[in-house]
Amino acid sequence: MENEQKGSTEEKLRLFEVRKADLLTMGGEKMVLKQHELTKLTARERVDLLFDADTFQEIQLFVKHRSTLFGLGEKEIPADGVITGFGLINGRTVFAAAQDFTSAGGSLGEMHAKKIWKVMDMALSARKPFVAMNDSGGARIQEGVPSLEGYGGIFYRNTIASGYIPQITAIMGPTAGGAVYSPALADWVFMVKKNSYMYITGPEVIKAVIGEEVSHEDLGGAVAHATKSGVCHFVTESDQDCLARIRTFLSFLPDSCHSPLPVAACTDSPGRECPELDTIIPDKTNRVYDMKKVIAAVADKGEIFEPHELWAKNIIVAFIRIMGRPVGVIANNPKFNAGILDVNASDKASRFIRFCDAFNIPLLTFSDVPGYMPGTRQEWSGIISHGAKLLHAYSEATVPKLTVVTRKAYGGAYLGMCSKQLGADYVMAWPTAEIAVMGAEGACNIVYRREISSADDPAARRAELACAYEGQFNNPYFAASLGVIEEIIRPRDTRKRVATLLETLQDKTEVRLLKKHNNIPL
Ligand code: HXC
């Protein structure tokens, strides 16, 4: 080191280039080759693909670990196994950290963590989104406690940043143990099929402790977390696919909760009619239809960006644009369990609503819901408190809230799908809407039980009474007469109405009681 400082300025500059180039080779050719053989990109290749060309500015490249334990004193770990910095994505500034598996398995030691702290702190100060690309063996085993402290500092920053700047994590390799909690604290988790997994304890420990045998993939792979646990919001095919989709996703999001929404150029018309919606509801009310077609019809150019596509499919959450402005859509999906609300659907929708509200993205709800899922499984899984999350999330949201009742809106679930009483600014119903306490047959079985059982022909009497009940309640007119809904609209006019209302409500501000924070039933 002393000799290095002795030469001419020219030599010092040359030496700087040599040292920098050395660090840029990461874990060396052999390790890079191994990474590529697994069809994984290196951290630097990932950064290059995530950011607009030549815009990434790396910070703290020369940071080194300072541990001497268990042979680490002699071990060089380039950039301490993580690349941090900022650059442009679609022309907008974003901060990022990419763990470099080729350098000590991307393991997280004290200095590695401090680099991530620094870039997260910068993202917070600059009020710009943060993207983490995880590919790591977890806590650097040789370093011990400082590694754990490192994770703690990341979790703390994830929490401080929550609702302030968008946080996205891409799982592009192993993520095990407590390391899974930074992704879980972020807003969105992308996972790459086959090459990524997340779990608290791996297959070996599971086998030893409870005797269960399971593979890495089945336990914590992208598909498992996208279909079973709901931890993963987006399953992607490859590193390239993952990074391209994060770029697209960021185009829907503002830089921070204090930033304006990004407005995309729009060639679609606000007055476009959607005649296909006039015929989408089947004549028989227990038949299914494709709610995604309804959402696509209303969206600019039919474009939908859908998180959680494979989990809790009875409810759809999606980002769309209307006249170029982002909108968060929540819709019951009649194709799965008749669009009923259960524990997972309530969790999925509630978190989505809170994200949109935190970042000022207006909410559009399509309601076609027969109720809350009955049964011991749901009751004992806590449908009461999970269902309450939905009521809480909608009620606390202060962004513009529009609701369209397409068909069923029954009972508590009617309230739960952004009814007027939960603060919807404008509720519309199609002429096919049924806004009632419950379905007609069920209602008659309760109210007219004695009368039906003592009738000469109970089935005929039940049908007769159900018909009268339907006439009174299973339509939008009774609700409209009470002002519980604002308007009955032709389905074809849905986009037109929604576009006008969103424009009208653009400056909505709602001030709530001064307090520390709500206590959502978690
Ligand atoms: C130090 C690590 C490491 C770690 C991997 N390496 N994980 N070094 N600490 N946690 C090093 C390896 O020694 C090796 O170094 C290089 O990275 C590549 O690792 P390989 O094992 O050769 O790679 P591969 O065969 O692909 O296996 C990947 C792996 C395995 C499955 C991730 O490395 C592994 O099991 N690692 C340990 C995982 C783990 O138990 N982590 C602790 C989790 S607990 P050389 O020098 O040989 O190239 C945790 C707690 C967090 O993280 C708590 C937060 C609150």
Give the pLDDT confidence of 294-322 residue by residue, as tens digits: 999 999 999 999 999 999 999 999 999 99
**Distance between CA 507 and CA 210 in Å, rounded?**
56
Answer whether CATH 3.30.2080.10 is correct for domain 13-250. no
Active site residues: 177-178, 412-413
Residue pair 323/506 in contact (Cβ under 8 Å)? The answer is no
Q: How far is CA 502 from the centre of its chain?
A: 22
**For ligand 1, mutation pick of 107, 136, 201 (most atoms within 8 Å of CB):** 107
Question: If DSSP states are collapsed to H, E and C, what string results for 87-156?
Answer: EEECCEEEEEEEECCCCHHHCECHHHHHHHHHHHHHHHHHCCCEEEEECCCCECCCCCHHHHHHHHHHHH
- Is the CB of 107 inside a 6 Å radius of any atom of ligand 1? yes
**Ligand 1 centroid from CA 105, angstroms:** 6
The percent of residues above 90 in pLDDT, for the chain, comes to 89
**Distance between CA 29 and CA 280 in Å, rounded?**
58
- Is the CB of 151 inside a 6 Å radius of any atom of ligand 1? yes
Q: What is the rounded average pLDDT for all residues in the chain? A: 95
Nearest alpha carbon to residue 198 among 185, 212, 217: 217
Which DSSP symbol is given to 227?
I
The structural domains of the chain, with segments of one domain joined by +, span: 13-250, 275-438+475-505, 440-473
Residue 174, strand partner residues: 197
Residue 316, strand partner residues: 331
Q: How far is CA 499 from the centre of its chain?
A: 24
Q: What is the mean pLDDT of residues 142-159?
A: 96
- Is the CB of 150 inside a 6 Å radius of any atom of ligand 1? no
Q: Closest residue (by CA) to atom 45 of ligand 1?
A: 104
Residue pair 97/115 in contact (Cβ under 8 Å)? The answer is yes
- Is the CB of 361 inside a 6 Å radius of any atom of ligand 1? no
- Is the CB of 327 inside a 6 Å radius of any atom of ligand 1? no
Q: What CATH number does the domain located at 275-438+475-505 have?
A: 3.90.226.10
**Ligand 1 centroid from CA 176, angstroms:** 10
Q: Identity (one letter) of the amino acid at 261?
A: L
**Which own/partner pairs from 200-204 qualify as long-range (CB within 8 Å, at least 24 positions apart)?**
200/176, 201/176, 201/177, 202/176
Q: Which two tokens stand for residue 324?
A: 């170029």
Give the pLDDT confidence of 75-115 residue by residue, as tens digits: 999 999 999 999 999 999 999 999 999 999 999 999 999 99
**Distance between CA 272 and CA 268 in Å, rounded?**
8
Pick the atom of ligand 1 nearest to 34's CA.
26
Q: What is the pLDDT of residue 249?
A: 98
Q: What is the pLDDT of residue 440?
A: 78
Sign of CA dihedral 216, 131, 121, 184: negative
- HSE on the CB side for 417, CA within 13 Å? 37
Residue pair 412/369 in contact (Cβ under 8 Å)? The answer is no
Give the pLDDT confidence of 212-230 residue by residue, as tens digits: 999 999 999 999 999 999 9
- Quickly tell me which residue has 């309760």 as its tokens: 446
**Distance between CA 77 and CA 101 in Å, rounded?**
11
- Is the CB of 174 inside a 6 Å radius of any atom of ligand 1? yes
Q: What is the pLDDT of residue 409?
A: 93
**Ligand 1 centroid from CA 205, angstroms:** 15
pTM: 0.95
Q: Closest residue (by CA) to atom 29 of ligand 1?
A: 137
Q: What is the pLDDT of residue 6?
A: 76
Where are the alpha helices (H) located in 359-493, listed in sequence order? 376-380, 383-396, 411-416, 440-447, 449-453, 458-473, 477-481
**Distance between CA 312 and CA 333 in Å, rounded?**
10
Query: Is residue 325 helix, strand or coil?
Result: strand
- Is the CB of 177 inside a 6 Å radius of any atom of ligand 1? yes
**Ligand 1 centroid from CA 308, angstroms:** 30
**Ligand 1 centroid from CA 139, angstroms:** 8
